Amino acid sequence: MDVKEVLLPGVGLRYEFEIREGDRIGVIAQRMGDFEVVIYSREDPDEARPVFRLTEEEAEALAQILGAPRIAERFADLTREVPGLNAGQVGIRPDSPFVDRPLGDTRARTQTGASIVAIVRDDEVLASPGPAELLRRGDVLVVIGTEEGIAGVEHIVDRGHLAGPPAGGHVAGPPAGGDVPGPPAGG
């Protein structure tokens, strides 16, 4: 789908696209954070009829509802443009050692070089999750990296450690014994 982006000086950005019925839809992202959705008249393409307005928070909620099923697909499209970069999905199994633990405990990026760019939880997308985000059983991690890096993230969340450094990589592996770092024993 072709989306036209137009800078509106002093206002923000307008995104336009044509829907199947031939109508043009516009989304105006205002500098103050609000969004307005408009439909353009077929008779006069410069005439816009407001459909609804959303606050920044409401727009984020709508984006999550509409984007949850397609986020991994969008990242896959991006990775086709960059040789050697892949997108993958890694599920958190009920028996994963990281269920109810922070994402940072996985040390996934440090150990594999791959980045977890989103967590899909039920119908919600948590974009750019921080290290304190708790992982839940059934979460799906959207991972960007090499094939080896994505496989390494899957191995980590399934077993609690990485079997070894990624192929061809020199990224630090887990501590001796393969344990995930945690609080010192006895305290």
Residues 35, 71, single domain; the answer is no
Residues 150, 79, single domain; the answer is yes
Q: What is the C-alpha separation between 162 and 63, in angstroms, rounded? A: 34
Residues 114, 148, single domain; the answer is yes
122 falls within a domain:
yes
Taking phi over 0 as left and psi of -120 to 50 as alpha, with beta for the rest, 90 belongs to beta
What pLDDT was estimated at residue 73? 58
Residues 73, 161, single domain; the answer is yes
Residues 108, 138, single domain; the answer is yes
What pLDDT was estimated at residue 173? 38
Q: Which residues contact 177 (CB under 8 A, 6 or more apart)?
A: none
Positive or negative CA dihedral for 123, 124, 128, 133?
A: negative
Residues 105, 161, single domain; the answer is yes
Containing structural domain, residue 139: 67-166
Give per-residue pLDDT as tens, 120-171: 888 788 888 889 999 999 999 989 899 999 999 999 999 987 665 444 443 4
What pLDDT was estimated at residue 171? 40
Residue-wise burial string across 128-146, b where 16 or more C-beta atoms lie within 10 A, e elsewhere: ebeeebebbeebbbbbbbb
CATH number of domain containing 71: 3.30.70.1450
For the chain, the domain total comes to: 2
Q: Tell me the average pLDDT of the chain.
A: 78
pTM over 0.85: no
Give the highest mean pLDDT range of 80-89, 96-105, 116-125. 96-105
181 falls within a domain:
no
Q: What percent of the chain has pLDDT over 90?
A: 29
Residues 160, 128, single domain; the answer is yes
Q: What own/partner pairs with CB < 8 Å and gap ≥ 24 does 132-136 have? A: 132/102, 132/103, 132/104, 133/102, 133/103, 134/100, 134/101, 134/102, 134/103, 135/92, 135/96, 135/98, 135/99, 135/100, 135/101, 135/102, 135/103, 135/106, 136/92, 136/99, 136/100
Average of per-residue pLDDT across 40-62: 82
Average of per-residue pLDDT across 86-114: 93
Residues 72, 157, single domain; the answer is yes
Give per-residue pLDDT as tens, 92-102: 999 999 999 99
Residues 88, 50, single domain; the answer is no
Length of the chain: 187
